[in-house]
């Protein structure tokens, strides 16, 4: 038991901090190191649910053929032990052999196995295993062996044969020739009911021990078989289509023509059965009673008044929990237990306290007050009962101490009478426990707002706090990412950085936001801005222009001006500052350049446009351009569409040549000039409407 830091006020019993069991008094319980809690153990350790084995390893009497729809069935005697067959062409079971050439029935066929076009049948009544090739056409071998049981083929066609009273697995070749024994011997704790070999040549066996199934496997050269898990089985074998099997028959999971799942059930003689007649095999048997008694739990407080016990437990129907406690000032009191007085538990250890010292909680109670005399040590007893298959599970036990109630805040008059004080303290504890639960919920409430910790179903509820409507196509990881980024996105909303982050969060690409008011392809010859600007009315709003780099913005053509604009050559405008026309031409407009999307459908592009419009300021107008069809150079040319990087044509001077002096001609360097790579404007051209290959 562990306590919180500082003053001790509670102790825990669980898999993380330990259960402190008294090993001499704890019986039939398992899971002390399991986070799922302690539970009633199985009567056979390591038993596996047959319903998880049968879909991958059919019973010995059933074997699948070369395809998924072909099956073989060895029927029991009486009346006749036969080998039946069914496939997609004949879905009902029928005799494999018919007519005058059919062999006589088996004496007692107990198993069948297949490999490619070979079929083997284990006939225990005749003490032999018969091999046919091709399937059912002719006998290719007869293996004489006493009391043969389940059989299997390995990937090379060798036959493995088990015997009823032997731990040896016999090996025979495809022709029936003996090949010795399998090196690992079968475990001694059960009878083999299924044997199989996977693609890696590992041998699997299912053992029946007192009605419980054990799953084990071994390599061919291993020394012994070892327990295997259902996950190992699923990785080694494909599902066969068998649903379940029991003494009444078996069922297949088959699809009808309408694509609806249906179960088809048969008896072990191949006769159709209603689905409800084949009940699944029972779960592994568990103990019906189990007990945990802890060692003395130390509060560290002399004459401690222990307060409350709470259990985190599951109690299925047909099961129960019984809790009892006893206190002591001695960590090792003398053994005073009396099993004869404990009806129904006479065979279980009693623990140290006297029979009358235990205080039991109401049956099935998981939250109760401790009514025990003051004592530094407490002994905790937990008893479980089950029906043989179901079991309770206790994940954690919390023990609160010392007793602290609202009585501490009442006047001293409520403590004058000891009996009244005890009743008042216990009465107030009922309300204190409810208030403590509410305080616990309030304390844990911030955890409900953590997107990384809540279940997937709560994510839309969290989105409602931020007015976020989730797209149905978003998975849980993307929704959590959006919720975690929401506070930052709201702070940056309406900015270039906020818009870029929103697109990156939702679509996983980083866009480039281009504000058109500051990126116009024009300029002026007004020069640079002065270091100390003049009054506002004298500030030049033009951009520094470089010759042959930008075009000039014509004020006389942007709006009509007296003395400079030609009639009919400029619009009349009665609003705004004429000096700001160069900026107003692209004001409140921006362009979002987005890399290619993983999903480039029209629907996805519409979602992208809707997101950009929702995150941009209301007075702006956005245009969206998604890449993927070619890289755009500037605003007019697209490399790979109307542009090619290629050497210029050789300059030829003259009337028939391509060079005119002083007419935008590019001359090559001389023969002795320095060689260079492709240089735009020198020996290469862009924008000549040439389609690049």
CATH of domain 2-41+286-404: 2.60.120
Three-class SS of 514-580: EEHHHCCCEEECCCCCCCCCCCHHHCCCCCECCCCCCEECCHHHHCCCCCCCCCCCCCCCCCCCHHH
Q: Are 159 and 114 in contact (CB under 8 A)?
A: no
What integer pLDDT is reported at residue 165 of this predicted model? 84
CA distance 362 to 369: 11
**Which of the given ranges, 34-43, 457-466, 627-636, has the highest pLDDT on average?**
34-43
Average pLDDT over residues 271-283: 88
- Name the residue among 170, 233, 231 with its Cα closest to residue 198: 233
Residue 251 — very low, low, confident or very high, per pLDDT cuts 50/70/90?
very high
Q: What is the mean pLDDT of residues 199-225?
A: 91
Q: What is the pLDDT of residue 554?
A: 72
Q: Where are the alpha helices (DSSP H) in 540-677?
A: 555-558, 581-584, 602-615
Residue 345 pLDDT more than 80? yes
Q: How far apart are CA 210 and CA 351, in angstroms?
A: 31
Residue ranges per structural domain of the chain:
2-41+286-404, 50-277, 412-449, 635-693
Q: Predicted confidence band at 6 (pLDDT cuts at 50, 70, 90)?
A: very low
Per-residue tokens: 446: 């911030």
Lowest mean pLDDT among 312-326, 413-427, 457-471, 524-538: 524-538
* Count of beta carbons in the 10 Å neighbourhood of residue 382: 25
DSSP 287-302: -SEEEEEBPPEE-SST
The residue that leads in pLDDT, 368 or 527, is 368
- pLDDT confidence bin for 567, thresholds 50/70/90: confident
Which residues have C-beta within 8 Å of that of residue 57, sequence separation ≥ 6? Answer: 194, 196, 204, 206, 233, 237
Model confidence at 330: pLDDT above 50: yes
Q: Which two tokens stand for residue 396?
A: 């954690």
Whether residue 88 has pLDDT greater than 50: yes
Give residue 215's pLDDT: 95
Residue 526: pLDDT above 60?
no
Angle at the Cα of 116 from the Cα atoms of 113 and 120, rounded to 5 degrees: 25
Report, as an integer, the average pLDDT of 627-654: 61
CA dihedral 334, 340, 343, 348 (to 10 degrees): 60
Average pLDDT for 28-47: 92
In percent, the amount of the chain with pLDDT more than 70 equals: 83
Residue range 178-187, pLDDT digits in tens: 999 998 999 8
Structure tokens at 389: 């298959």
Contact present, 601 and 473 (Cβ < 8 Å): no
User: Picking from 9-13, 328-332, 559-563, which range would have the lowest pLDDT averaged per residue?
Assistant: 559-563
Distance of alpha carbon 70 from alpha carbon 86, whole angstroms:
6
Torsion sign across C-alpha atoms 346, 351, 352, 356 = negative
Query: pLDDT grade, residue 4 (50/70/90)?
Result: very low
Predicted confidence (pLDDT) at residue 549 exceeds the cutoff of 80: no
**Cβ contact 284:213 at 8 Å:** yes
Q: What is the mean pLDDT of residues 3-10?
A: 54
Query: Yes or no: is domain 50-277 CATH 1.20.1630.10?
Result: no
Which DSSP string do the residues of 93-116 spell out, in sequence order? -EES--STTPPPPBS-EEEEEEET
**Count of Cβ atoms closer than 10 Å to residue 678 Cβ:** 11
**Three-state SS at 253:** strand
Q: What is the mean pLDDT of residues 442-464?
A: 83
Rounded mean pLDDT, 4-12: 64
Q: What is the mean pLDDT of residues 72-85?
A: 91
In sequence order, the β-bridge partners of residue 297 are: 378
The tokens of 163 are what?
């015997």
As a residue count, the chain comes to 693
The yes-or-no verdict on residue 377 having pLDDT over 90 is yes
Give the whole-number percent of the chain exceeding pLDDT 90.
36
CATH fold match for the domains 2-41+286-404 and 50-277: no
Distance CA 337, CA 296 (A): 15
Q: Cβ distance 151 to 120 under 8 Å? A: yes
pLDDT digits (tens, 9 = 90+) for 122-166: 999 999 999 988 766 778 889 999 999 999 999 999 999 999 888
Binned at pLDDT 50, 70 and 90, residue 637 comes out as low
Partners of 639 in the β-ladder: 631, 643
User: In which order are the strands placed within the sheet that holds 71-74?
Assistant: 62-64, 71-74, 83-86, 94-95
Contacting residues for 265 by C-beta, under 8 A, at least 6 apart? 249, 250, 251, 252, 272, 273, 274, 275, 277, 278
Sequence-ordered list of residues with C-beta below 8 angstroms from that of 592, at least 6 positions apart, any chain: 499, 503, 511, 512, 513, 514, 612, 622, 623, 624, 625
């Amino acid at each position: 038991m562990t306590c919180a830091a500082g003053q001790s006020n509670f102790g825990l019993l669980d898999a993380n901090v330990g259960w402190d069991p008294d090993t001499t008094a704890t019986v039939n319980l398992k899971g002390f190191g399991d986070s799922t809690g302690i539970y009633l153990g199985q009567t056979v350790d390591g038993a596996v649910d047959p319903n998880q084995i049968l879909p991958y390893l059919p019973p010995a009497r059933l074997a699948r053929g070369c395809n998924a729809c072909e099956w073989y069935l060895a029927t029991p005697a009486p009346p006749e032990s036969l080998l039946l067959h069914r496939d997609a062409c004949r879905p009902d079971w029928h005799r494999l052999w018919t007519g005058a050439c059919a062999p006589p029935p088996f004496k007692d066929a107990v198993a069948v196995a297949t490999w490619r076009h070979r079929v083997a049948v284990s006939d225990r009544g005749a003490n032999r295993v018969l091999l046919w090739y091709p399937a059912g056409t002719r006998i290719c071998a007869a293996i004489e062996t006493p009391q043969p049981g389940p059989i299997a083929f390995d990937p090379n066609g060798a036959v493995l044969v088990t015997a009823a009273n032997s731990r040896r697995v016999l090996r025979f070749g495809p022709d029936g020739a003996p090949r010795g024994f399998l090196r690992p011997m079968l475990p001694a704790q059960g009878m083999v009911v299924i044997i199989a070999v996977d693609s890696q040549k590992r041998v699997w066996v299912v053992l029946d021990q007192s009605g419980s199934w054990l799953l084990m496997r071994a390599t061919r050269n291993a020394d012994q078989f070892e327990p295997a898990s259902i996950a190992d089985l699923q990785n080694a074998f494909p599902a066969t289509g068998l649903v379940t099997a029991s003494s009444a028959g078996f069922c297949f999971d088959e699809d009808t023509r309408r694509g609806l799942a249906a179960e088809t059930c048969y008896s072990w003689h191949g006769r159709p059965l209603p689905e409800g007649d084949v009940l699944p095999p029972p779960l592994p048997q568990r103990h019906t009673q189990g007990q945990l008694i802890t060692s003395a739990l130390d509060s560290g407080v002399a004459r401690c008044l222990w307060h409350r016990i709470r259990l985190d437990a599951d109690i299925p129907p047909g099961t129960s929990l019984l809790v009892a406690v006893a206190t002591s000032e001695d960590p090792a009191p003398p053994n005073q237990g009396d099993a004869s007085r404990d009806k129904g538990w006479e065979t279980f250890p009693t623990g140290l306290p006297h029979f009358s010292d235990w205080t039991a909680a109401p049956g099935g109670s998981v939250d109760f007050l401790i009514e025990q005399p003051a004592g530094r040590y407490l002994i905790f007893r937990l008893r479980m009962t089950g029906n043989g298959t179901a079991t309770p599970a206790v994940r954690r036990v919390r023990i609160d101490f010392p007793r602290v109630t609202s009585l501490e805040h009442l006047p001293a008059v409520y403590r004058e009478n000891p009996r009244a004080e005890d009743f008042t303290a216990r009465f107030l504890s009922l309300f204190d426990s409810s208030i403590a639960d509410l305080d616990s919920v309030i304390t844990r409430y911030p955890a409900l707002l953590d997107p990384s910790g809540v279940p997937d179903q709560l994510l839309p509820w969290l989105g409602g706090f931020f007015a976020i409507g989730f797209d149905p196509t978003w998975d849980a990881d993307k929704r959590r990412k959006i919720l975690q980024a929401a506070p930052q996105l709201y702070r940056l909303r309406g900015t270039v950085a906020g818009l870029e982050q929103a697109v990156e969060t939702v679509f996983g690409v980083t866009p480039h936001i281009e504000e058109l008011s500051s990126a116009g392809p024009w300029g002026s010859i007004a020069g640079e801005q002065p270091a100390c600007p003049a009054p506002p009315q004298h500030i030049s709003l033009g951009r520094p222009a470089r010759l042959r780099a930008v075009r000039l913005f014509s004020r006389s053509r942007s709006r009509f001006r007296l003395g400079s604009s030609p009639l009919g050559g400029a619009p009349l405008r009665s609003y705004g500052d004429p000096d700001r026309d160069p900026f107003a031409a692209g004001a409140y407009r921006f362009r979002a350049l987005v890399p290619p999307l993983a999903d480039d459908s029209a629907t996805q592009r519409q979602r992208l446009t809707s997101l950009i419009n929702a995150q941009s300021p209301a007075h702006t107008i956005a245009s969206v351009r998604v890449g993927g069809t070619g890289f755009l150079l500037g605003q007019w040319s697209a490399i790979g569409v109307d542009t090619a990087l290629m050497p210029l044509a050789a300059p030829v001077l003259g009337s028939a040549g391509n060079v005119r002096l002083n007419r935008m001609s590019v001359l090559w360097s001389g023969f002795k000039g320095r060689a260079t790579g492709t240089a735009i404007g020198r020996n290469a051209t862009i924008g000549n409407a040439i389609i690049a290959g």
